[in-house]
A and B are shown apart, each in its own frame.
Chain A
Amino acid sequence: MTRSFRRSLAQGRTYLLVILLLLFVGFPLFWMLMSSGKLNSDIVRIPPVWIPFLPTLEHYEELFEVTQFGRWFLNSLLVCSLSTISAVTLGVLGAYSLSRLKVRGKELLGRSVLLAYMFPGVLLVIPLVLVFTRIGLMNSQVGLALAYLTFALPFVMWVMRDFLASVPVDLEEAAMIDGASRLEALRDVVLPQAFPGIIATGIFAFLFAWNEYLFAAVLVRSHDLQTLPPAMANFASAMDTRWGLIMAASTLATLPMAIAFAFVQKYLITGLGAGGVKG
């Protein structure tokens, strides 16, 4: 009796912790969603209006009718997809080389990948501007996607290297004996084993780019080409902060990631778990 009581006490404690954590993480999201449906006058009212009695869609309407939200959203999708797809493709190939091929200085190369990943982005902005200006990539979405590769590529390489190293070499050797070329063996046999890891890594690379502000603000200046983070920042000016607009935009900007996470949750768990390969 006392033992089962103690166990339920322990369980209760765990639940309490989880609930607190959920509140901590979830409250800003909740507040964002609620505020996006409030009249401007209700947003800053004290005491706060917790849940709008009659939600309004006026901020959402304004987003699409007055601002270029739709275009920015598509810009963001485009830039982030481009950088993520290139980072995953190149990163997986690079990681595979680092984990398998007998290249001289492989270890050094591997470590410099980590260094590249840790290198602070702020320090890269100025050099990037100089280079991009010279080669005509300023104010271009391809340029921005390229800039995102500076962190996305090392990230993918670093994470995927361990993933691929955990796939038994025997498998691809068997495939090559069975008649596959090295690239076919990678595609047919190695990648399916590393698939959860690739999905998880890709999502994270996408998320970094989706939330990125600094590069986006500095490298792309024209209104038409801008991505969401710098464009939304303009809703808050010195004169006046458009809370309703910001909240509505943030809600919509959160959606794709929320959907993506819901879909690939299964992969994230196996993917970020131990190595990801089962016998």
Chain B
Amino acid sequence: MARVRFDKLRKVFGRDVVAVAGLDFEIADGSFVSLVGPSGCGKSTALRMIAGLEEPTSGRLLFDDRDVTGLEPRDRDIAMVFQSYALYPHMSVRENLEYGLRKRRVPAAERDQRVARIAAMLHIEPFLERKPRQLSGGQRQRVALGRALIRDPEVFLLDEPLSNLDAKLRVHMRAELATLHARVGTTMIYVTHDQLEAMTLSDRIVVMSQGVVQQIGPPEEVYARPANRFVAEFIGTPSMNLMAGELDEEGGKARFRRNGVTVPLPDSLTAAADARQVLLGIRPEDIRITADSGEATIPAQVAVAELAGAEKYIYLDVAGMQIIARTDADSPVRGGDRVGLHFRPDRLHLFDGTSDEAKAIRAG
């Protein structure tokens, strides 16, 4: 097991494709960390640099206090699960599992023992003598996990390991991965574009966009206090509602204004704002819908109410913008209704400016 430290790690492909613009953080020993971001943001490149498959343009990589930047993959004591699984097609499942042990000259008796243990743990004993092509997607996935686990590596890397599975199996394997991590306790670094996977599995998530880290933190924190507009929109489904408007003041009270609609803001939020043009953010579940459009509420019109099993998504028109609210499934609201909205004041997010990097304005 090891702590992994990125020291200004950077990767540029060719002359000017900046895949990773500079990673500078630490992953605690034994933790489960996800790199998450849209496709092309540099997650795989970051992971491949940890594996030694991609040479950094600059910066250093340390396992504990050992500088591994220039080491070959085989000298790093890492294991990796590929999105494609990359099982050796001409070898049986047993040979696949054993390959790494053979390369490390583990004696036959111990190899058998370890194969037996891993096979039992992942429930793949019945397939040990089969070839990968004779296995289903889920079984291949287990073998790929097994091949990585069997070596008992210091760091365990996973690049979108679940994305080739169908939805149901994915949820199942997600739970198994969590159990597995709890059991083996190895440092795991997990790459995914699926924010839900990242949220459910990780101790900490690293949100990336265009090669740049946007925010690092425990999932709850990243969800509750996104650092900027990008994170706010990327984390959570449906995404956070964002409304562009102006900061304004009336009688010493700060408020947000857009097309004649005003939202009073807690004082704590506005103190730090520089710009007058801001984004107001509110998550769908933090909007309460009332039938009366009284004084304290924001008037809105319901476009569609969509039932999604245990809950309903209400698409609302507010001051010429569409926003989404999430309610219980038994909400009586229907398309065409005129309603009043109430935004939970402690759950309002305010962003300084309207660009992707617009910083969240924090109290204090």
Contact = CB atoms under 8 A, between A and B. Distances in A.
B65 to A, nearest CB: 22
Interface in B78-93: 78-80, 82, 84, 86, 88-90
Interface in B45-94: 51-53, 72-74, 78-80, 82, 84, 86, 88-90
B79 A177 contact: yes
Nearest to A176: B73
B104 interface: yes
Contacts of B89: 171, 193, 277-279
B133 A175 contact: no
Most buried by B among A168, A173, A184: A173
Contacts of A277: 89
Interface string B314-336: 00000000000000000000000
A192 interface: yes
B84 A177 contact: no
B82 A175 contact: no
Contact of B84 (A170, A184, A192, A278): A170
Contacts of B72: 176, 181
A180 B84 contact: no
B88 A278 contact: no
Contacts of B52: 177
Interface in A27-77: none
A136 interface: no
A178 B103 contact: yes
A224 interface: no
A181 B53 CA distance: 12
A175 B51 contact: no
Contacts of A180: 74, 103
B151 interface: yes
A173 B99 contact: no
Contacts of B80: 173-174, 177
A192 B90 contact: yes
B100 interface: yes
Given A170-B82, A180-B74, A278-B133, A175 B53 contact: no
A188 interface: yes
Given A170-B82, A278-B133, A177 B74 contact: yes
Main secondary structure on chain A at its contact with chain B? helix
B229 interface: no
A4 to B, nearest CB: 37
Interface string A245-279: 00000000000000000000000000000000111
A120 interface: no
B86 A178 contact: no
A178 B133 contact: no
Interface in B141-177: 147, 151
Most buried by B among A176, A192, A278: A176
Given A170-B84, A278-B133, A181 B99 contact: no
B78 A177 contact: yes
Interface residues of B, number: 22
A168 B84 contact: yes
B303 to A, nearest CB: 46
B91 to A, nearest CB: 8
Contacts of B86: 168, 170-171, 173-174
A159 interface: no
A175 B78 contact: no
A78 interface: no
Contact of B73 (A168, A170, A173, A192): A173
Most buried by B among A176, A177, A189, A277: A177
Interface string B181-201: 000000000000000000000
Nearest to A279: B133
A168 B78 CA distance: 21
A93 to B, nearest CB: 19
Contact of A179 (B74, B90, B133): B74
Contacts of A174: 80, 82, 86, 88, 147
Given A188-B99, A279-B89, A178 B84 contact: no
A15 B88 CA distance: 41
A168 B86 CA distance: 8
Interface in A148-190: 168, 170-171, 173-181, 184, 188-189
A125 to B, nearest CB: 43
A176 B90 contact: no
A175 B88 CA distance: 9
A168 to B, nearest CB: 6
B100 A173 contact: no
A117 B84 CA distance: 36
A275 B88 CA distance: 17
Interface in B90-119: 90, 99-100, 103-104
19 contacts: A168-B84, A170-B84, A173-B53, A173-B86, A174-B82, A175-B99, A176-B72, A176-B74, A177-B51, A177-B80, A177-B100, A178-B99, A179-B100, A179-B103, A180-B74, A180-B103, A181-B74, A188-B88, A277-B89
Interface of A: 168, 170-171, 173-181, 184, 188-189, 192-193, 277-279
Q: Closest 5 A-B residue pairs measured CB to CB?
A: A179-B103, A178-B100, A170-B86, A174-B86, A192-B90
Given A177-B52, A181-B72, 13 more contacts: A171-B88, A173-B82, A174-B88, A178-B99, A178-B103, A180-B103, A184-B103, A188-B99, A189-B88, A193-B89, A193-B90, A277-B89, A279-B89
